[in-house]
Amino acid sequence: MMYVAYEWVLPSAFILDLLIGDPRALPHPVRWMGKEIDLFERCARKLPFRERILGGLLVLILVGSTWAICTLAVRVAYKIQPLAFQTLHIILIFYSLSVRSLWAEAMKVYTSLKANDIAGAKKDLSMVVGRDVTLLDETNVIRATVETVAENLVDGIVAPLFYAAIGGGPLAMAYKMVNTMDSMIGYRDDKYKKLGWFAARLDDVANFIPARLSVVAIASATFLIRRPVFRTVKTVLRDGHKHLSPNAGIPEAAFAGTLGIRLGGPNFYGGDLVQKPYIGKAMKSIEQDDIIMAVNLMSVSAINWFLCCWGARWILAAC
């Protein structure tokens, strides 16, 4: 029986991500996923089937094959050497995490704003958000940065660790394929509303539990950085459901409550104005240092959630 030593696999992957983040000079599975999704999308559009059916098949094939290939890889590694088996799990989980890269991308925006380079800040922001950034003023650039840090806490940290703790590297990679497909084709515009419907729904399902568990990590981080925990939880309960996504509003509301700012509101996507409700109450005006607060909150929340997953694996191993 193959045993995954989560007791040192999880911390090794987490620390590796903290130390080196996204190694752009090395091959990255998520970039491969993007190319694979693009290739399958172009092939699917040439087939004489309804787009909704093709969208479902596209997701099942890509997610299923990702899990199967990774599972086969770790099994082969186990046959070669048990240490190679554990090491491959570490690498797969490491590639699914985004703590350092999320911190770095948010800090790029902050650095540009501090230098009064609003154009540079918009360019940096455009690399991590799907909304139009051309019409944003400084306040909305800050707001968008805080929102993406909050949302990606779930996509890039809480959910990958959750699935890694359950099923190791292969399940973490399968989740990453679901999340990547949603970010590429899970839109509601004319081009993707049929082809990407299943990817968007599966991403909602995959993130449903992690998004809600993220409140535990964020609330505990709020306590540690000496912010009002009650206001954080109250904001989640009051506004967490207001987002168009069933999951994104949860961490956004938690961040809004902790920072005492208002997030959400109307935004442009693909040239169209999308009316989105506001989340949180403005206890103060939004300022540049809110990005620093958001990054700190994300970092402490990430460590808290890692400790939760690691502790759970220790308990299970002792049973």
pLDDT, tens digit (0-9, with 9 covering 90-100), for 62-109: 999 999 999 999 999 999 988 899 999 999 999 999 999 999 999 999
Whether the predicted pLDDT of 1 surpasses 60: no
Higher pLDDT: 1 or 257? It is 257
Whether the predicted pLDDT of 28 surpasses 60: yes
How much is the pLDDT for 53? 84
Query: pLDDT band at 271, cuts 50/70/90?
Result: low
* High-pLDDT (> 70) share of the chain, %: 95
- Calculate mean pLDDT across residues 38-54: 77
140 forms beta bridges with none
SS3 content of the chain, % helix, strand, coil (to 5): 70, 5, 25
pTM greater than 0.75 (yes/no): yes
Query: pLDDT band at 26, cuts 50/70/90?
Result: low
* High-pLDDT (> 90) share of the chain, %: 67
Sole residue written with tokens 């918009």? 122
Whether the predicted pLDDT of 214 surpasses 60: yes
Q: What is the pLDDT of residues 279-310, one digit of tens each?
A: 999 999 999 999 999 999 999 999 999 999 99
Rounded Cα gap, residues 17 and 20, in angstroms: 6
Please report, for the chain, the start and end positions of each structural domain, with discontinuous segments joined by +: 6-318
Whether the predicted pLDDT of 119 surpasses 60: yes
- Calculate mean pLDDT across residues 218-246: 95
Query: pLDDT band at 238, cuts 50/70/90?
Result: very high
Cβ-in-10-Å burial (0-12, 13-18, 19+) of 275 comes to exposed
Higher pLDDT: 49 or 22? It is 22
Sole residue written with tokens 């973490």? 172
How much is the pLDDT for 44? 74
Least confident of 185-189, 199-203, 241-245: 185-189
Cβ-in-10-Å burial (0-12, 13-18, 19+) of 229 comes to middle
Higher pLDDT: 293 or 268? It is 293
Query: pLDDT band at 313, cuts 50/70/90?
Result: confident
How much is the pLDDT for 38? 84
For 89, the token pair is 């799990």
